[in-house]
Amino acid sequence: MTGAKGGTAVETLVRLKGEGVVTVPREAILTFPEGLVGLESWHRFVLLEYEDDPVVGLLQSLDDRDICLFVTDPRNVCPDYSYQLSPGERAALQLQEDGEVLTLCIMAARQEPFELSVNLLGPLAINPRRRLGKQVILAGSAYPARFVLSKAKEDASC
């Protein structure tokens, strides 16, 4: 590996649980300058996709290699999901007026009783061009912080 002066991108090595070592190009790193809500020390992540399941992704922390979050596009569970970024949030993400935003929501699993949920209240807004992210809290929204997937079919309104 050589630095930027050598013309080759610097790479970071990530050790994933049970996956050995994965080489991650620097341009694949997502930076959350403010961290995540309640986890402000986590700033750098890489988004990994399951080959077997394109609906669920893994957001692997580079700051704490033991942290790996399951994420999904919220429209996978709530087809009408939408929200607006404030001008300050757009500026923090360095988004142009018509800039594309990748939206992901963190998933959580509970063992007893088994339950899989998605946090629709605090989505991760990502500028894919700049590789910048921000967790947005949708204050005053009807979206829940724990949208239980087993109840999704019963409750079509999310």
Report pLDDT digits (tens) over 105-125.
999 988 777 889 999 999 999
Domain segments of the chain as ranges: 29-145
Instruction: Name the stretches of the chain with pLDDT < 50.
Output: 1-9
Assigned architecture for domain 29-145: Roll (2.30)
| pTM as predicted | 0.83
pLDDT of residue 153: 57
Contacts 24+ apart (CB under 8 A), 6-14: 12/62, 14/46, 14/60, 14/62, 14/65
